[in-house]
Chains A and B, each alone.
Chain A
Amino acid sequence: MAMPPENLQPELELVRRMKGGDESAFVHLYRRHRDAVFRLALMYSGSPATAADVTQDAFIHFIAHPAQYDATRGTLAAWLCGIARNLARKAAGWREDATDPADLADDTAPHESHVEHDTPLERVLRGEAAEHVRRAIASLAPHYRDVLILCELSELSYAEAAQVCGIDIGTVRSRLSRARERLAQRLAPYREGAKEAVT
């Protein structure tokens, strides 16, 4: 069995202590990962209230099933993000069929039914430009949105994103590339508008 990288050892020690009932170890792990999990849930759900519920449920899952985390397969951060991602998608009622490989050959545009039209669009960020980018990401097809949120915003490695999404690394790369193209297209009118406003 592959051993986890050495720099994971302090965190694994905390996980081991937590499994043994050490509350301070759990609190330490929670404080280390809560914000990343909350932000990811916020990006998926577009709702602070839903993101809070998702964060809570993700950590409750961790409390109830700590043995499900396998350090040989990735970091605890990535594992928690994967749980939060699944919970957030479920909470938002996202269609999981968008990840069907047969439908999502890399060169194929997503079927109309895979594109979300009723994404949560209430304002969650203070900065107007950032909020606009967030909305543009929320309007992408789920499989593009997935890799953008995981790789660009949650800073998971391609391997970790691949594991979370259940796809291979090559597919993560190609989807990310296309996701960026689509995002740039969606943001183009906003950029034009911003330019005109300046001139």
Chain B
Amino acid sequence: MNTDAVLDLELDDLRRELDAIRAPDALEGALVAKFRESRAAAKPRLWWMPPLALAATIAIASWIVRGPVPGNEGLVSLAPHAIDSDPPFVALRPLDQIAKAGGARVVTTEFPRALLADWGLPVSPERAAEPVRAQMLYSANGEPLAVRLLD
């Protein structure tokens, strides 16, 4: 018998021995517990949370902008169209960051509609090139904090 055939027999012997080996029974219980744990952690999110969070964001941002900006009461008057019928501001930065922004000011401006996409706002491709009028809330260092479309 050649060496290769002998080796095959030896490997067969090892395979037979291995075939008789089983994973410890205790593992299954531990793994099923892990599986349940992982499922509990991955429970479906409450469907109403995202819209509620969006509404709250808009409401708070709007309140922050309509109310006096701390230390910059005079600058708020830079928003000539800030009347109750105007649409609310949409926050472009986290609310705590907006709240902390000292020296914030509102500026009425006009820019290409396509720019809205950079802030994650919907833009119709047909109207992307059109200009849009908006009021911007800027921080003291010129960072846009919130935007309100005027048309």
**Which B residues lie within 8 Å of A109 (CB)?**
none
A39 interfacial by beta-carbon distance below 8 Å: yes
Give the nearest-CB partner of A49 in chain B.
B24
Q: How large is the interface on A (under 10, 10 to 19, 20 to 34, 35 or more residues)?
A: 35 or more
**Which A residues lie within 8 Å of B4 (CB)?**
180, 184
Q: Please name 23 pairs of A and B residues whose Cβ atoms are closer than 8 Å in the assembled complex, sorted by A.
A: A21-B42, A26-B31, A30-B28, A34-B27, A34-B28, A38-B21, A38-B22, A39-B18, A43-B18, A48-B24, A56-B31, A59-B34, A63-B31, A63-B34, A64-B38, A125-B17, A129-B10, A130-B14, A133-B11, A153-B11, A153-B14, A153-B15, A184-B7
A-side residues, CB < 8 A to B, are 21, 23, 26-27, 30-31, 34-35, 37-39, 42-43, 48, 52, 55-56, 59-60, 63-64, 125-127, 129-131, 133-134, 137, 152-153, 180, 183-184, 187, 191
Decide if the interface of chain A is mainly helix, strand, loop or mixed.
helix
**Which B residues lie within 8 Å of A191 (CB)?**
6
B119 interfacial by beta-carbon distance below 8 Å: no
Are A63 and B7 interface neighbours, CB within 8 A?
no
Number of contacting residues on B, CB 8 A? 27
Give the nearest-CB partner of A59 in chain B.
B31
> Known interface pairs A35-B23, A38-B23, A52-B23. Does A130 touch B16 (Cβ–Cβ under 8 Å)?
yes
Give me the 3 closest cross-chain CB pairs, A-B, nearest first. A38-B23, A130-B17, A34-B23
